[in-house]
Structure 1
Amino acid sequence: MIRWFGAFVGYMLYRFPGAFIGFMLGSLIDNMVGNRGKGGGFKQVFQQPSSQRVTPADFELNLLSLASLVIKADGNVNQRELDFVRQYFVQSYGRERANATFKVFNDVIKKREISAQNICALLRQRTRYESRLQILHFLFSIANADGSVSTPEVNEINRMAGYLGVQLRDFESIKAMFFKNPDSAYKILEIERTATEAEIKKAYRTMAKKYHPDKLQHMDEAYRNGAEEKFRKVQEAYEQLQKERGF
């Protein structure tokens, strides 16, 4: 982005005062370029009125945009799914900020075509892998808010997972947390039914480490709660296999 280049050049010439001036000038250029583009960058897509008292971050708007695609995936906009998303945003960001996010989304973004590929590409660049896993868990939670996850919703989330750079095994692990069948525990732990006792124990340690809530301490409370839910599902899967295998 031009603002960071400007800050770098300014710092090289005039140290910190120059970095500040370069950043401000670069920001101005970024905004001008964004406003000229048609559906180009997120700056232009997520631009909001300067009078807005609470300013939603790009991340919140990106997340809400992906949520809207999942909700519409099966052609049925379910009220329970909408309520889940609103409650999640209120819990994460507070009512005032959540309302501001929904307002910008409804006034600006909802009226344009939302590109899951572009949004996920940006999130892939700017978020850690464990955060992207939590995004998938959030999207599945939305789909499950009405009591079941439909095939079109699974396909939509699977498409987003690919754009986010999430490995198929991790996608299947999170997906299995929302489907009860004889293979669910194995899929959550990312192992085959033929796995030995030693392999099950090793898989549990690996998955418990991958999904440990401490990995999301940098994120909001709602995300940390979601991480705890994933961690609990891993524990439940392991305990189920312990009982089935008798170890």
Structure 2
Amino acid sequence: MIKWLLAILGYIYFRFPGAILGFIIGSLLDNYVRVSGGVFTSMMGNQRQEVSPGDFELNLLSLCSIVIKADGSVSQTELDYVRSYFVQAYGKERANATFRTFNEVVKSRQVSASKISRYLAARTKYPTRLQIIHFLFGIAQADGRVSDAEAAIIQEIAGYLQIGARDFASIKAMFFKKTDSAYTILEIDKSATDDEVKKAFRKMAKKYHPDKLGHMDEAYRKGAEEKFRNVQEAYDQIKKERGL
């Protein structure tokens, strides 16, 4: 792809700053020649807006860097988590090239959570944005725990992505296990009736079904499967507690 060629040329002549600039310019050129079927789309009013896979990837990397730096330190475990994602999604060769750029973003580039998230909110579907939040929590937990600072910045990003409060709490509960986490995951109160529990499970299973992300890459589909599994486990736990 053009962006990788320009990133390599930029690195040869201007090192990391040149690689980043080449990647961005190449992404723009890729967008110009890419057919419309290769983009993720959403509708806002009557205006059709699009984000290409290249742009999505670059903005996702930026959000990753924000979360990784949220607690004031850069964890190697969290960096490895991101690298593993790109290896699963794109293969080792492309992942290595992407991760070199990502390392530079993490170390030096100042990015705006608000601008990036609002950009993605206008150009991606809601299930995709839910998966972004799940992925960011996965990064934060990679070193063993999600810090308060990491949870706070992810919640801020979720707000910019226009994620509903209950949807955010549901995903967060998948990483912060408490006595009532199962109910939070299903987005219901502990006082819900048995019928309400069953209805909530059907609703959440439909919302988080992996087929919702059929247009995304393999790593994202695996993330969707993990959310779906958490919903099933929450429901099984409540059934066991209630003897259903």
TM-score > 0.5, shorter chain as reference: yes
2:209 match: 212
Residue identity (%): 65
Does the alignment pair 1:223 with 2:216?
A: no
Equivalent residue, structure 2, for 1:147 = 144
State the Cα distance separating 1:106 from its structure 2 match.
4.5
Give the whole-Å Cα distance in 2 for the aligned partners of 1:110 and 1:59. Answer: 20
Q: Contact conserved, 2:62 with 2:105, CA < 8 A, in 1?
A: no
2:166 matched to which residue of 1? Answer: 169
The verdict on how the C-alpha distance between 1:98 and 1:182 changes in structure 2, with shifts beyond 3 A counting, is: same
Cα distance in structure 2, aligned partners of 1:62 and 1:172: 24
The answer to whether the 8 Å contact 1:208/1:231 transfers is yes
How many residues of Structure 1 are paired with residues of Structure 2 in the alignment?
Answer: 200
Q: Letter of the aligned partner of 1:58 in structure 2? A: D
Post-superposition CA distance 1:86-110 (Å, at most 9, x none):
1111111122222222333455786
1:158 aligns with 2:155: yes
User: Residue 24 of structure 2: which of 46, 64, 69 is its match?
Assistant: 46
Deviation of the 1:78 alpha carbon: 1.1
* Counterparts of 1:171 and 1:75, CA distance in 2: 24
TM-score under structure 1 length normalisation: 0.76
Deviations 1:128-170 (A, max 9, x none): 1000000000000000101111110000000000000100100
- Give, in whole Å, the separation in 2 of the partners of 1:98 and 1:44: 17
TM-score (norm 2): 0.77
Is the Cα–Cα contact under 8 Å of residues 209 and 225 in structure 2 kept in the other structure? yes
Residue 89 (structure 2) aligns with: 92
Q: 1:71 to 1:194 in 2, by over 3 A?
A: same
Distance (whole Å) between structure 1 residues aligned to residue 237 and residue 27 of structure 2: 53
Please, what is the CA RMSD of the aligned residues?
Answer: 2.2
In structure 1, the gaps of 5 or more residues are 1-42, 51-55
Counterpart position of 1:26? none
Q: How does 1:23-102 map to 2 (within 5 A)?
A: 46-47=24-25, 57-102=54-99
Contact 1:45 1:108 survives alignment (8 Å): no
1:114 aligns with 2:111: yes
What does residue 126 of structure 1 align with? 123
Equivalent position SS for 1:146: coil
Over alpha carbons, which structure has the higher Rg? 1
Structure 2 residue runs of 5 or longer lacking an equivalent are: 1-20, 29-52
